[in-house]
Chains A and B, each alone.
Chain A
């Protein structure tokens, strides 16, 4: 079930991303709702389907975006790996792990996108990318990180109910 609910949740977020979030820009940066959802889900204590969510999210974005198919897939898998590592190390302050993963995840996914575009023949000016897109996107993603974490915490409690000890 935890895998199957990823499809409607990430699908809805993808629609929101293409219709709303991509038009709500800060300078030229936009938030990445799918990445935030994957991070928030991966950081939940009892969640065991983080990799599957990363693959489904990457697959969905890969279909819609003009970026090379593997770019979002690799980005989200790295983000899941990061989230898993941080969950194990700073498990007692999960919201801190959420902020750190969002910060690093945004930088990594943007770096992968810029590198892949360069390989495909579109060299983007690094300074403009950082100041016009990456930093504003980082701010937007960090703004959404905390509410997303608590929303997905509730979802995780519903999907993985705690066992009562008798």
Chain B
């Protein structure tokens, strides 16, 4: 009976003490005190934690190292795989660009039928300018068909097998192509040279030739279709004593970078050799 009234008083005092402590803590008055108490605890905790971490690492390190090495080698394999993929994709992008340009070229020349082919090799002789392509008679190719790129004339097919063909480039020393100049419309002949370049010969002395004039196939001789771009004049050599003018030419096609070419399959060269007079002919 005597103890019952004391408890509420103790509870109230305790509650007031707790509320007071909370109020002091919220007011920031207990911070120095808590710092005083917590600092040694935190220091001890840090010291112990660092040692424990070091001990744990020392025990677990060999396992981690092996795992990391394995992971590292896996990542290296992955990186090299992705690098290969990037190279393949870049190559595909490059091929797509070339093909897209070739398709555009074919669209603007609807009168011709084209067949695309990849350049797979070059003639082993340094004296000749020929390339080998991966299409042959099985694909409908015939000797004499003109070969172009989206830039301009490349050459013509010189020999055909079932699966491949040999293309004589216009830079070959044996190549002679009848051309016309724009805008003067003068007739001339493009010749390949041993240096792998082309030059313009047989330009009439009276023809007005300027640097920058365009050179197009004339169609004379029946070996090439008309109006295929070949290049641009970069220099003119004119001497009064000569019968003809000569000119140096910058071809529009980069013959060192030939990858994909188009063959004009609906063009049939005309053989005019029976009409060419020979010394033995009557």
Contacts and interface: CB of A to CB of B under 8 A. Distances in A.
Interface of A: 14-15, 17-19, 21-23, 25, 28-30, 32, 34, 61, 64-67, 110, 113-114, 117, 120-122, 124-125, 128-129, 132-133, 137
B180 interface: no
B125 A128 contact: no
Interface residues of B, number: 22
A18 B122 contact: yes
Most buried by B among A22, A25, A114: A22
Interface string B110-135: 00000000001111111110101000
B158 A66 contact: yes
Contact of B127 (A15, A64, A129): A129
Contact of A65 (B120, B128, B193, B195): B128
B128 A67 contact: yes
B168 interface: yes
B92 to A, nearest CB: 20
B269 interface: no
A110 B194 CA distance: 13
B168 to A, nearest CB: 7
A114 B128 CA distance: 10
Contacts of B125: 65-67, 113
Contacts of B121: 15, 18-19, 22, 64
B166 interface: yes
- Name the prevailing secondary structure of the A interface residues: helix
15 contacts: A18-B120, A18-B121, A18-B123, A25-B126, A32-B124, A61-B124, A65-B128, A110-B127, A113-B125, A117-B127, A117-B174, A121-B174, A128-B195, A129-B127, A132-B195
B132 A122 contact: no
Contacts of A14: 124
B196 interface: yes
A159 B267 CA distance: 53
Contact of A30 (B126, B130, B158): B126
B159 A66 contact: yes
Nearest to A132: B195
B225 interface: no
B235 interface: no
A28 B193 CA distance: 11
Contacts of A125: 194
A125 B124 CA distance: 20
Interface string B2-29: 0000000000000000000000000000
A122 B127 CA distance: 10
A21 B152 CA distance: 27
The 10 closest A-B pairs by CB, nearest first: A18-B121, A22-B122, A122-B174, A30-B126, A66-B130, A17-B124, A133-B126, A128-B194, A66-B128, A67-B125
B123 A22 contact: yes
A110 B158 CA distance: 22
A125 B197 CA distance: 14
Nearest to A128: B194
B173 interface: yes
Given A19-B120, A66-B166, A133-B194, A113 B132 contact: no
